[in-house]
Each structure stands twice: as structure tokens, then as C-alpha cells.
Amino acid sequence: MKFRYFFIIILVIGLLLQFSRMVRKEDYFSIKQEITFEKAPAKNTTYTFTNPQKILVYYNKNSEQSKRILKNLYEIFKFAKIDYTLKDIGEITPTKEYSTFIFATDTYIGFTKEMFDSITKEVNEGKSLIFLNMTPYNPFNPMAGIKNFSDSTLDASSGIKFTEKLFPGIDSYEPSAIMVSHPAMNKLELENDVKIFAKSSENIPLLWERKIGQGRILYSNVSFFADKIMRGVLNQWIAYGNEWYISPFLDTKLMHIDDFPAPIPRGDNEIIQKEYKMSTRDFYRNVWWKDMVDISKKYNLVYSGFIIIDYNNIVEKEKMKRISDLNLKDLALEGRELFLHGGEMGIHGYNHDPIVFDDNKYVDFKKLGYIPWRSESDVAASTREVKSYVKELFGSKVKLYTYVAPSNIGTDKGMKILKKNYPDLKTISTVFYGYLEEGAYVQEVGANPEIPGVYNMPRFSSGFFYSTDEMWNLFNALAVYGYWTHFVHPDDVIAEDRGKDKTWKQLKAEFERTIGEVNKIFPYLKPMKASDLTKLYMNIEDLKIKSEKVNNEIRIGSINFRKPYEATIRIRNKKIKSMSSGTFKEIYTSGETKIYLINIDKENVTIFLGD
């Protein structure tokens, strides 16, 4: 009898254990990653504007420097929804409808006295004049406060150090001389009433403000506004020059882990053995990932991981064989951990060979250890392998929406092939800063101009190590787009070039320093996954903003308003008292201006100002 009861108890326990395994298995296959990218219906403002904000930009069609500055302005104004008119330096145009005049040129040949007199009058009556490139031959130089300067420019002025506040982050860091090197007028003698905002490493004034009558001039003794790396400074310098300036602000932070899930390196690594006395496999499972989870909780992050099936360098479809059970186990465990902690899975590739072919003249295949793909059909076969393994490991409800190119290398040709074979693909994320000449797929924020239905949402910084130049990169991007995407690789820890000969303990501390400093300066950024950022951008993609200030009110009218969006507004000499709807939060003070983060929840919004 006792044996019978004992047998029944054992049987019940066995059934419970089996049921538990079944439940866990069911949970495993009930993972769901299905996202809708449909836009909400659009509404248009019913406000009528008499004198909306509008900017006149002068450039020189014969100057390469002017065209490069104009490229930065175009990208800034496209995202910020700024209404502006572009004129060549020799054109004559009425000035009454414009509140701000910008000169994006290094030469004034052809500029007329009629326009000089008209703009001078407008500035004295309260409008703003902004110069984005230095030249000794600017006819406005005396009015901008320049009394005297050296006969020759300094060919290699370097660095930038802010002496006044301009925008969170960018006025707190000094980029290296390697990053910021530019000609400037040397040995300047300025009027006593100029307010200097920034100087070079050589102590040369670079950016300053001078009040003229009821208006102001912002002068730039620089040539670096032609560089993408200075786009955030450029945007905020222009914003400071206006009486008010509104720009959408995506208000989010993303952390990408490239090569995750991926097969874990086999064997032992000298750095890991010395620090932890364990195998590489045990380190990544028991130390690295645990630390990454702790970091995500401590700093309020969500990871987006990008799967690699195998590191095999196979680029011919007939050679694509079943991967090992050990690799499958790595992918399954890492992917499940990613989903367990609220992350998103995207595509990195079947292997780590970028989707480029042997006709690519920019990629140094031998140096990088990559093999060019043989044909489009081979690439298509690799995508089928990825989709098959993802379905096998995580179920049919896991759709893949975001692609990150191995080593951020790629071409439009390769991306089009991927879109054809990954029909759910919505986002490509590579790099914002980089060199096309090295094969990088360098991106601007927004719709991919070559692939309909796909969006470019680039990353702005990378690595576990701390770098003031990386901080400069990310804060300049935040100062335009209001989002930060950083990426790391698990093998950064053991890679000679990316690990900087540091232990994981050291790299972890530097990684936390980077995240911690961003969180301190921008505590309100919301953690987000890759696809959610794309949806956020799509909401404002075709948005147009009109604004007008009448007495103590700023009226904001949105065209193609879909869902509420966030924006920054910089206001001169006034404070926000209230809004007709939505919310506001003061985030910074810069000279006579205050910067607010506002939520615009309707197509018609009025901001009420006070002293």
C-alpha cells in the first residue's frame, strides 16, 4: 500500500514536471513580435496666419563651401519643419515677410548694395541676421563688431570651447582637434559690446552675438558649419538667433547590440581568463549578459538585438548547410533573453559578410576579412536561411523589421535586394557619421530615398569605451533630432581595436559613464526599441508647422497632424505661462532664451507667454 502511494506521488510529480516543461515550451513559441506601421488619419490646422515665421537664406551657387553648408541647413530645416526661402547671393528680393536672414556663404561676390541696405534696416528694426561662414570680405563685418583682424586667416584653428550656454550637452564637451579643425580670422579686435559664445583652442573668438538697434547679429568666425559633425551646433545657433524656434524632438534613447543573438566564440580568451578565470562561453552567459541586464535596469534602457546565424563566410547558396546544435542553442538562449527583457530582434545577417559584391571599389575585402557575395540569388538564399532559423527558434509570430549592416557597410543595391527578400523590412540603421569612401552606408534621418517604404534611422555613437569625441557626436545629433542611438557588440570586449586593451570591468565602467552622462543631461529621454523609433518618426514625416507670435501668444498650427508629438521651443525674453492644450517643461536657459520641451497634442495649439 505504501509503495502504491509512493508510486502515485512520483507519477503526479512527473506529470507536473512534464506540464511545467510544456508550459515553458508553449511560452517559448508564443513569443510575438508583430508591429503595425499604419499612420493615423491626418488633420490640418484651422488657424489663419498673417505673418508666420519665415527665414531667408542666401547662398552662393558657385561655391562648394556654400553648397556644403546648405546641405546641413537643408537636413536641419527638413526635420525641424522650418519655412525658408533660398536665394543666390546676387538675387534681389523683398525682405518684409522674413524674420531672420541667414548667409550660408564664404563669398559675397555679386551681393547688391540694395539688399545690404534693406537687410541692415530690417535688423535695426528688430530682426535677426546670422552668418554661417567667416570671410574677411563680408560687407557686414564692421556691423558685426569686427574692428580689425590679421591680414591672413589662421589655416588650422582647432577645437571649440563654449564660454556661454547654448544647448544641453554640446556646450559641455570639447571635441578633439582632430575632429574640429578649420580656418578662422586671426588676431581679431572686436567691439566691446559683443557677447562671445565660443572660442577655439587658440583662444580665437568663433561665435558671438552683437545687438544692433532692436535686432541682433550672430557671427560665425568659422568654416566648420559645412561639416556634418557640427550640425547640432548649427541648428541651435540658428535657434538662438530667432525670437522663437520650434523643432520636433523625438525624445528617446535606443541601445543596439549588434551580433546578438549570435554564436558565442569558442575556447578561451586571454583577457577573460586573466580577469575571470573562465571560458569565453561561460563569461558571456554568466557575467557579460547579466551585467548588461543590470545596466538596462539601472539606466532605464531597452535593447534591440540583431541576429547573426553563423560566422561562416559562406556566400554561395549551395554551401549553406545546417548550423551546429551548439550554435542553435546559443541563438535560442540569447534570443529568448532578449525578448524576456522586453527587447526587439532585428537582422544583422546570415553571416557577417556585408551585402556587397566584387564590383564594390570602396570595401577592402582582404583587410576586413570579408568575402563579396557572388550573386543576388545567393543573398536571397541567405535571407531564407535567416527567416527559417528565426521561425524554428522563436515561432512564426516573430517578424523582422530592422536591418543593421555588418560593419555598417552596404550599398543601395544590396539594401534593395534585402527589402525584396525581407518584405517586412521597415528600417535600416547604420551610421550617421562615416565615410562613403570606406564602404560605409552613411545615412541621413528619414525616408530612404532609394527604397520606398523603408526608413533610415542611423546610430550616432558606439562602443563600450568612453570618448569625449563620441559624446560630441551624440549630443550634436540630439541637438537636431532629439534621439540617441548607441551600438555595441558583445565581442567588443575581446576585440583588440574595439576593446582598447581594457578589461570588461573597465569597459563596463566607461559604458556606464557614457550612459550616465547622457541620462544626467537628458533625464527625460524615453527608452525605446528600433521599430518604435521608426513609428515615432513616421508620425511627423509629412508634418508641416506654421507659427506666429502676436503680443504674448505663439500660435502653432500643424498640417498633417496625426498623433501628439514632442518638440522643443526656444523663446527669447519670455516664459511660458500656459498652453491651450498639451504640456510643457522648461529644460534649459541660454542667454536671453529659455528652451522648453512641449507636447503638441492638437493641430491648433496656442502658447501663452509672460515675463
Same-domain status, 171 and 309: no
Same-domain status, 354 and 492: yes
Last residue of some domain: 193, 213, 242? 242
Same-domain status, 280 and 135: no
pLDDT at 4 (0 to 100): 58
- The parent domain of residue 377 ranges over 252-523
Last residue of some domain: 493, 523, 553? 523
pLDDT at 237 (0 to 100): 99
pLDDT band of residue 578 (cuts 50, 70, 90) is: very high
Residue 303 has pLDDT above 70, yes or no: yes
pLDDT at 28 (0 to 100): 47
Cell, residue 211: 545687438
Same-domain status, 436 and 312: yes
Q: Kindly report the CA angle at 35 between 34 and 39, in degrees rounded to 5?
A: 155
Distance from the first to the final alpha carbon of the chain? 90
Same-domain status, 377 and 518: yes
Same-domain status, 224 and 264: no
Least confident range of 109-113, 500-504, 521-525, 583-587: 500-504
CA–CA distance, 525 with 517 (Å, rounded to integer): 12
pLDDT band of residue 7 (cuts 50, 70, 90) is: low
Residue 79 has pLDDT above 90, yes or no: yes
Residue 286 has pLDDT above 60, yes or no: yes
Same-domain status, 72 and 153: yes
CA-based nearest residue to 556, from 75, 78, 46: 46
Same-domain status, 86 and 162: yes
Residue 18 has pLDDT above 50, yes or no: no
Residue 538 located in a structural domain: no
Residue 536 located in a structural domain: no
How many domains would you assign to the chain? 3
Residue 159 has pLDDT above 60, yes or no: yes
**How much is the pTM?**
0.93
Query: How far, in whole angstroms, is CA 188 from its chain's centroid?
Result: 36
- Three-state DSSP state, 406: helix
Residue 9 has pLDDT above 60, yes or no: no
Characterize 89-100 residue by residue with b for buried, 16 or more Cβ atoms within 10 angstroms of its Cβ, and e for exposed: beeeeeeeebbb
Same-domain status, 341 and 359: yes
Residue 596 located in a structural domain: yes
Cell, residue 266: 569558442
pLDDT at 22 (0 to 100): 35
Last residue of some domain: 242, 267, 300? 242
pLDDT at 15 (0 to 100): 47
Question: Tell me: the pLDDT tens digits for 374-424?
Answer: 999 999 999 999 999 999 999 999 999 999 999 999 999 999 999 999 999
Question: Tell me: the pLDDT tens digits for 205-255?
Answer: 999 999 999 999 999 999 999 999 999 999 999 999 999 999 999 999 999
Residue 517 located in a structural domain: yes
Query: How far, in whole angstroms, is CA 106 from its chain's centroid?
Result: 28
pLDDT at 26 (0 to 100): 39
- Three-state DSSP state, 51: coil
Q: What percent of the chain has pLDDT over 70?
A: 95
Residue 598 located in a structural domain: yes
pLDDT band of residue 495 (cuts 50, 70, 90) is: confident
pLDDT averaged over every residue in the chain: 94
Helix spans in 358-489 (H): 365-368, 376-394, 412-421, 468-481
pLDDT at 11 (0 to 100): 55
- Three-state DSSP state, 190: strand
CA-based nearest residue to 415, from 461, 365, 452, 363: 452
Whether the upstream peptide bond of residue 527 has omega within 30° of 0, thus cis, is no
Residue 167 located in a structural domain: yes
Same-domain status, 156 and 187: yes
- Three-state DSSP state, 76: helix
Same-domain status, 101 and 154: yes
Residue 401 located in a structural domain: yes
Residue 287: which CATH number? 3.20.20.370
Question: Tell me: the pLDDT tens digits for 250-271?
Answer: 999 999 999 999 999 888 888 8
Residue 131 has pLDDT above 90, yes or no: yes
pLDDT at 19 (0 to 100): 40
User: CB under 8 Å to 423, separation ≥6 — which residues?
Assistant: none
Residue 197 located in a structural domain: yes
Same-domain status, 142 and 217: yes
Q: Kindly report the CA angle at 322 between 317 and 327, in degrees rounded to 5?
A: 120
pLDDT at 10 (0 to 100): 58
Question: Tell me: the pLDDT tens digits for 360-377?
Answer: 999 999 999 999 999 999
Neighbours of 540 (CB within 10 A): 23
Residue 161: which CATH number? 3.40.50.880
pLDDT band of residue 498 (cuts 50, 70, 90) is: confident
